Structure 1
Amino acid sequence: MLNSIRKNKTGIILMLFSSIFVCIGQLLWKLSAEQGIFVLFMGFVSYGVGALLMLVAYRFGKLSVLQPMLSLNYVLSIVLAALVLNEYISVMKGVGVFVIIAGVILIAGGDEE
Protein backbone atom coordinates (compact mmCIF):
# COMPACT_ATOMS: atom_id res chain seq x y z
CA MET A 1 0.00 0.00 0.00
CA LEU A 2 2.69 2.50 0.96
CA ASN A 3 4.72 1.66 -2.15
CA SER A 4 1.81 2.64 -4.36
CA ILE A 5 1.32 5.91 -2.50
CA ARG A 6 5.06 6.67 -2.73
CA LYS A 7 5.14 5.95 -6.48
CA ASN A 8 2.20 8.27 -7.11
CA LYS A 9 2.96 10.81 -4.34
CA THR A 10 3.42 13.90 -6.51
CA GLY A 11 0.30 13.11 -8.52
CA ILE A 12 -1.70 12.47 -5.35
CA ILE A 13 -0.62 15.78 -3.79
CA LEU A 14 -1.43 17.68 -6.98
CA MET A 15 -4.86 16.01 -7.15
CA LEU A 16 -5.58 17.01 -3.55
CA PHE A 17 -4.78 20.64 -4.38
CA SER A 18 -6.82 20.32 -7.56
CA SER A 19 -9.83 19.21 -5.53
CA ILE A 20 -9.40 22.10 -3.11
CA PHE A 21 -9.28 24.70 -5.89
CA VAL A 22 -12.20 23.15 -7.80
CA CYS A 23 -14.38 23.07 -4.68
CA ILE A 24 -13.49 26.63 -3.74
CA GLY A 25 -14.37 27.67 -7.28
CA GLN A 26 -17.76 25.99 -7.04
CA LEU A 27 -18.39 27.56 -3.64
CA LEU A 28 -17.56 30.99 -5.07
CA TRP A 29 -20.03 30.37 -7.91
CA LYS A 30 -22.70 29.64 -5.31
CA LEU A 31 -21.80 32.79 -3.35
CA SER A 32 -21.71 34.94 -6.48
CA ALA A 33 -25.51 34.85 -6.72
CA GLU A 34 -25.54 37.29 -3.80
CA GLN A 35 -22.07 38.81 -3.94
CA GLY A 36 -21.66 39.77 -7.57
CA ILE A 37 -19.55 39.37 -10.66
CA PHE A 38 -16.12 39.60 -9.01
CA VAL A 39 -16.86 36.55 -6.86
CA LEU A 40 -18.12 34.74 -9.97
CA PHE A 41 -14.89 35.61 -11.80
CA MET A 42 -12.76 34.43 -8.86
CA GLY A 43 -14.72 31.19 -8.92
CA PHE A 44 -13.73 30.67 -12.55
CA VAL A 45 -10.10 31.44 -11.72
CA SER A 46 -10.05 28.99 -8.81
CA TYR A 47 -11.79 26.29 -10.85
CA GLY A 48 -9.34 26.87 -13.72
CA VAL A 49 -6.34 26.51 -11.41
CA GLY A 50 -7.83 23.26 -10.13
CA ALA A 51 -8.28 21.96 -13.67
CA LEU A 52 -4.69 22.82 -14.58
CA LEU A 53 -3.38 21.11 -11.45
CA MET A 54 -5.38 18.04 -12.42
CA LEU A 55 -3.80 17.95 -15.87
CA VAL A 56 -0.32 18.26 -14.38
CA ALA A 57 -1.09 15.58 -11.78
CA TYR A 58 -1.76 13.04 -14.51
CA ARG A 59 1.89 13.33 -15.54
CA PHE A 60 2.99 12.15 -12.09
CA GLY A 61 0.84 9.14 -11.37
CA LYS A 62 -1.30 6.37 -12.75
CA LEU A 63 -4.76 7.24 -14.00
CA SER A 64 -6.26 4.33 -12.05
CA VAL A 65 -4.96 5.90 -8.82
CA LEU A 66 -5.50 9.59 -9.54
CA GLN A 67 -8.88 9.67 -11.29
CA PRO A 68 -10.82 8.17 -8.36
CA MET A 69 -9.39 10.92 -6.15
CA LEU A 70 -11.78 13.31 -7.85
CA SER A 71 -14.44 11.84 -5.57
CA LEU A 72 -12.79 13.89 -2.82
CA ASN A 73 -14.57 16.86 -4.41
CA TYR A 74 -17.78 15.54 -2.83
CA VAL A 75 -16.13 15.40 0.59
CA LEU A 76 -14.66 18.88 0.31
CA SER A 77 -17.93 20.31 -0.98
CA ILE A 78 -19.82 18.95 2.02
CA VAL A 79 -17.20 20.31 4.43
CA LEU A 80 -17.19 23.76 2.76
CA ALA A 81 -20.99 23.83 2.70
CA ALA A 82 -21.06 23.16 6.43
CA LEU A 83 -18.31 25.65 7.30
CA VAL A 84 -19.19 28.52 4.98
CA LEU A 85 -22.90 28.11 4.25
CA ASN A 86 -23.87 26.59 7.61
CA GLU A 87 -25.46 23.59 5.92
CA TYR A 88 -26.32 20.59 8.08
CA ILE A 89 -24.30 17.39 7.68
CA SER A 90 -26.61 14.46 8.40
CA VAL A 91 -25.43 11.12 9.73
CA MET A 92 -25.93 9.61 6.27
CA LYS A 93 -23.75 12.31 4.69
CA GLY A 94 -21.13 11.67 7.37
CA VAL A 95 -21.16 7.96 6.62
CA GLY A 96 -20.91 8.73 2.91
CA VAL A 97 -17.89 10.96 3.52
CA PHE A 98 -16.22 8.17 5.47
CA VAL A 99 -16.91 5.63 2.70
CA ILE A 100 -15.52 7.97 0.03
CA ILE A 101 -12.33 8.64 2.01
CA ALA A 102 -11.87 4.91 2.70
CA GLY A 103 -12.37 4.15 -0.99
CA VAL A 104 -9.81 6.74 -2.08
CA ILE A 105 -7.26 5.36 0.39
CA LEU A 106 -7.87 1.78 -0.75
CA ILE A 107 -7.59 2.71 -4.43
CA ALA A 108 -4.49 4.88 -3.94
CA GLY A 109 -2.81 2.11 -1.98
CA GLY A 110 -4.05 -0.76 -4.10
CA ASP A 111 -1.76 -0.22 -7.06
CA GLU A 112 0.68 -2.95 -6.14
CA GLU A 113 1.91 -5.01 -9.07
Structure 2
Amino acid sequence: MNKFMQSLKENRLGMTLMVFASLMTALGQMFWKMSGGGINGLLILGFFLYFFGAVFMIVSFRFGSLSVLHPLLSIGYVFALFLGSIILQEAITESNYVGTFLIIVGAALIGGGDN
Protein backbone atom coordinates (compact mmCIF):
# COMPACT_ATOMS: atom_id res chain seq x y z
CA MET A 1 0.00 0.00 0.00
CA ASN A 2 2.91 2.32 0.70
CA LYS A 3 4.23 1.90 -2.88
CA PHE A 4 0.75 2.60 -4.22
CA MET A 5 0.51 5.90 -2.31
CA GLN A 6 4.07 6.83 -3.29
CA SER A 7 3.28 6.28 -6.97
CA LEU A 8 0.14 8.41 -6.69
CA LYS A 9 2.14 11.17 -5.03
CA GLU A 10 4.94 11.09 -7.63
CA ASN A 11 2.53 11.10 -10.58
CA ARG A 12 -0.17 13.41 -9.18
CA LEU A 13 0.31 16.35 -11.55
CA GLY A 14 0.71 14.10 -14.58
CA MET A 15 -2.40 12.15 -13.62
CA THR A 16 -4.42 15.34 -13.17
CA LEU A 17 -3.32 16.64 -16.56
CA MET A 18 -4.07 13.28 -18.21
CA VAL A 19 -7.60 13.14 -16.78
CA PHE A 20 -8.15 16.72 -17.98
CA ALA A 21 -6.81 15.68 -21.41
CA SER A 22 -9.32 12.81 -21.45
CA LEU A 23 -12.13 15.23 -20.67
CA MET A 24 -11.05 17.63 -23.43
CA THR A 25 -10.87 14.89 -26.06
CA ALA A 26 -14.26 13.49 -25.00
CA LEU A 27 -15.78 16.98 -25.26
CA GLY A 28 -14.15 17.45 -28.64
CA GLN A 29 -15.64 14.22 -29.92
CA MET A 30 -19.06 15.14 -28.56
CA PHE A 31 -18.97 18.45 -30.43
CA TRP A 32 -17.96 16.60 -33.60
CA LYS A 33 -21.06 14.48 -33.24
CA MET A 34 -23.22 17.52 -32.51
CA SER A 35 -21.96 19.21 -35.69
CA GLY A 36 -24.01 16.75 -37.74
CA GLY A 37 -21.16 16.10 -40.14
CA GLY A 38 -21.19 19.63 -41.49
CA ILE A 39 -18.43 22.21 -41.34
CA ASN A 40 -19.72 24.58 -38.69
CA GLY A 41 -18.82 26.16 -35.36
CA LEU A 42 -19.44 22.98 -33.39
CA LEU A 43 -17.05 21.00 -35.56
CA ILE A 44 -14.35 23.65 -35.25
CA LEU A 45 -14.87 23.88 -31.47
CA GLY A 46 -14.54 20.09 -31.33
CA PHE A 47 -11.24 20.24 -33.18
CA PHE A 48 -9.89 22.88 -30.79
CA LEU A 49 -10.96 20.91 -27.71
CA TYR A 50 -9.44 17.73 -29.10
CA PHE A 51 -6.24 19.62 -29.96
CA PHE A 52 -5.96 21.05 -26.44
CA GLY A 53 -6.62 17.57 -25.05
CA ALA A 54 -3.67 16.28 -27.08
CA VAL A 55 -1.49 19.13 -25.83
CA PHE A 56 -2.41 18.38 -22.21
CA MET A 57 -1.65 14.71 -22.84
CA ILE A 58 1.81 15.53 -24.20
CA VAL A 59 2.55 17.90 -21.31
CA SER A 60 1.35 15.37 -18.74
CA PHE A 61 4.06 12.92 -19.80
CA ARG A 62 6.64 15.35 -18.39
CA PHE A 63 5.13 14.88 -14.93
CA GLY A 64 4.80 11.14 -14.57
CA SER A 65 5.53 7.68 -15.86
CA LEU A 66 4.25 6.64 -19.28
CA SER A 67 3.10 3.28 -17.92
CA VAL A 68 0.93 5.03 -15.33
CA LEU A 69 -0.34 7.98 -17.34
CA HIS A 70 -1.20 6.53 -20.74
CA PRO A 71 -3.78 4.03 -19.45
CA LEU A 72 -5.59 6.95 -17.79
CA LEU A 73 -6.74 8.03 -21.24
CA SER A 74 -9.37 5.29 -20.86
CA ILE A 75 -11.17 7.65 -18.49
CA GLY A 76 -12.21 9.45 -21.68
CA TYR A 77 -14.64 6.59 -22.32
CA VAL A 78 -16.27 7.31 -18.96
CA PHE A 79 -16.55 11.02 -19.77
CA ALA A 80 -17.97 10.21 -23.22
CA LEU A 81 -20.59 7.88 -21.74
CA PHE A 82 -21.86 10.48 -19.30
CA LEU A 83 -21.65 13.39 -21.77
CA GLY A 84 -23.64 11.33 -24.26
CA SER A 85 -26.23 10.53 -21.63
CA ILE A 86 -26.58 14.00 -20.14
CA ILE A 87 -26.18 16.24 -23.18
CA LEU A 88 -27.16 14.02 -26.12
CA GLN A 89 -29.84 12.09 -24.22
CA GLU A 90 -28.34 8.71 -25.16
CA ALA A 91 -29.45 5.70 -23.13
CA ILE A 92 -27.05 4.02 -20.71
CA THR A 93 -27.46 0.26 -20.39
CA GLU A 94 -26.54 -2.00 -17.52
CA SER A 95 -23.52 -3.25 -19.44
CA ASN A 96 -22.38 0.37 -19.85
CA TYR A 97 -22.41 0.75 -16.06
CA VAL A 98 -20.44 -2.46 -15.59
CA GLY A 99 -17.89 -1.45 -18.21
CA THR A 100 -17.56 2.03 -16.70
CA PHE A 101 -16.97 0.54 -13.26
CA LEU A 102 -14.27 -1.76 -14.66
CA ILE A 103 -12.56 1.13 -16.46
CA ILE A 104 -12.50 3.23 -13.29
CA VAL A 105 -11.18 0.35 -11.15
CA GLY A 106 -8.54 -0.53 -13.75
CA ALA A 107 -7.41 3.08 -14.11
CA ALA A 108 -7.16 3.43 -10.32
CA LEU A 109 -5.12 0.23 -10.01
CA ILE A 110 -2.78 1.18 -12.83
CA GLY A 111 -2.47 4.72 -11.47
CA GLY A 112 -0.80 3.39 -8.36
CA GLY A 113 1.32 0.75 -10.03
CA ASP A 114 4.44 2.69 -10.86
CA ASN A 115 6.86 0.69 -8.74
Tell whether the structures are fold-level matches, with TM greater than 0.5: yes
Q: What does residue 33 of structure 2 align with?
A: 30
Q: CA offsets, 1:19-70, max 9 Å, x none?
A: 1110000000000117861111000000000000000000100000001001
Structure 1: give runs of 5+ residues left out of the alignment.
none
Q: What does residue 22 of structure 2 align with?
A: 19
Structure 2: give runs of 5+ residues left out of the alignment.
none
Q: What does residue 98 of structure 1 align with?
A: 101
Q: What does residue 7 of structure 1 align with?
A: 10
CA drift of 1:111 comes to 1.6
Distance in structure 1 (CA, Å) of the matches to 2:10 and 2:17: 13
Q: Given the two structures, how large is their TM-score scaled by the length of structure 1?
A: 0.95
Q: What does residue 76 of structure 1 align with?
A: 79
Q: CA RMSD in A?
A: 1.3
Task: Give the helix-richer structure, 1 or 2.
Answer: 1
Q: CA offsets, 1:1-20, max 9 Å, x none?
A: 11111100010000011011
Q: Which residue of the other structure, out of 49, 52, 55, is the alignment partner of 2:52?
A: 49
Distance in structure 1 (CA, Å) of the matches to 2:89 and 2:41: 22
Q: How many pairs were matched up? A: 112
Percentage identity across aligned positions?
42
Q: Does 1:87 align with 2:90?
A: yes
Q: Given the two structures, how large is their TM-score scaled by the length of structure 2?
A: 0.93
